[in-house]
Amino acid sequence: MTATWLPTLITASPEEGYDLAVTLSRVAVRKTQPDGEVRARLRQSYDEDFGALIAISHVVATNFRTVAAANDYWRSAG
Protein backbone atom coordinates (compact mmCIF):
# COMPACT_ATOMS: atom_id res chain seq x y z
CA MET A 1 0.00 0.00 0.00
CA THR A 2 1.73 3.13 -1.17
CA ALA A 3 1.07 6.73 -0.20
CA THR A 4 -1.09 7.11 -3.28
CA TRP A 5 -3.75 4.44 -2.91
CA LEU A 6 -6.34 7.09 -1.95
CA PRO A 7 -5.45 10.44 -3.54
CA THR A 8 -9.06 11.68 -3.56
CA LEU A 9 -12.67 10.69 -2.97
CA ILE A 10 -13.77 12.51 -6.12
CA THR A 11 -14.61 10.27 -9.07
CA ALA A 12 -15.79 10.96 -12.59
CA SER A 13 -18.94 8.84 -12.36
CA PRO A 14 -21.17 6.99 -9.89
CA GLU A 15 -19.81 3.68 -11.11
CA GLU A 16 -16.23 4.70 -10.40
CA GLY A 17 -17.43 5.89 -7.01
CA TYR A 18 -18.91 2.49 -6.35
CA ASP A 19 -15.63 0.82 -7.29
CA LEU A 20 -13.84 3.14 -4.89
CA ALA A 21 -16.26 2.07 -2.15
CA VAL A 22 -15.33 -1.55 -2.85
CA THR A 23 -11.65 -0.64 -2.59
CA LEU A 24 -12.17 1.21 0.69
CA SER A 25 -13.89 -1.89 2.08
CA ARG A 26 -11.02 -4.15 1.10
CA VAL A 27 -8.22 -1.97 2.42
CA ALA A 28 -9.45 -2.29 6.00
CA VAL A 29 -9.31 -6.07 5.65
CA ARG A 30 -5.80 -5.87 4.23
CA LYS A 31 -4.61 -3.53 6.97
CA THR A 32 -5.94 -5.89 9.64
CA GLN A 33 -4.64 -9.08 8.04
CA PRO A 34 -1.62 -8.06 5.92
CA ASP A 35 -0.65 -11.64 5.06
CA GLY A 36 -1.89 -12.19 1.52
CA GLU A 37 -1.64 -15.96 1.78
CA VAL A 38 -3.86 -16.07 4.82
CA ARG A 39 -6.38 -13.79 3.12
CA ALA A 40 -6.40 -16.00 0.03
CA ARG A 41 -7.10 -19.04 2.17
CA LEU A 42 -9.87 -17.28 4.08
CA ARG A 43 -11.35 -16.03 0.81
CA GLN A 44 -11.96 -19.58 -0.33
CA SER A 45 -14.33 -20.25 2.52
CA TYR A 46 -16.11 -16.90 2.69
CA ASP A 47 -16.73 -16.88 -1.07
CA GLU A 48 -19.26 -19.60 -0.46
CA ASP A 49 -20.76 -18.07 2.66
CA PHE A 50 -23.74 -15.95 1.78
CA GLY A 51 -23.78 -14.29 5.21
CA ALA A 52 -20.27 -13.02 4.53
CA LEU A 53 -21.22 -11.81 1.06
CA ILE A 54 -24.13 -9.83 2.52
CA ALA A 55 -21.89 -8.41 5.24
CA ILE A 56 -19.40 -7.26 2.61
CA SER A 57 -22.22 -5.64 0.68
CA HIS A 58 -23.15 -3.73 3.84
CA VAL A 59 -19.62 -2.40 4.23
CA VAL A 60 -19.58 -1.33 0.59
CA ALA A 61 -22.92 0.45 1.10
CA THR A 62 -21.52 2.35 4.08
CA ASN A 63 -18.45 3.42 2.13
CA PHE A 64 -20.52 4.26 -0.95
CA ARG A 65 -22.55 6.66 1.17
CA THR A 66 -19.35 8.53 2.02
CA VAL A 67 -18.06 8.59 -1.55
CA ALA A 68 -21.45 9.64 -2.94
CA ALA A 69 -21.69 12.53 -0.46
CA ALA A 70 -18.15 13.59 -1.34
CA ASN A 71 -19.17 13.82 -4.99
CA ASP A 72 -22.43 15.62 -4.22
CA TYR A 73 -24.08 12.48 -5.59
CA TRP A 74 -22.74 13.25 -9.09
CA ARG A 75 -25.78 15.48 -9.58
CA SER A 76 -24.01 17.74 -12.04
CA ALA A 77 -22.49 14.83 -13.97
CA GLY A 78 -23.77 13.73 -17.30
Buried b / exposed e along 7-26 (16+ C-beta atoms within 10 A): eebebeebeebbebbeebbe
When binding is defined by CB under 8 A, the residue of 13, 36, 37, 40 that contacts its own copies is: 13
Residue 37 binds its own copies (CB under 8 A): no
Q: Which residues contact 1 (CB under 8 A, 6 or more apart)?
A: 27, 30, 31
Q: Which of residues 39-58 bind its own copies (CB under 8 A)?
A: 42-43, 45-58
Question: Which chain residues interact with its own copies by CB under 8 A?
Answer: 3-10, 13-15, 18, 22, 24-29, 31-33, 38, 42-43, 45-66, 68-70, 73-75, 77-78
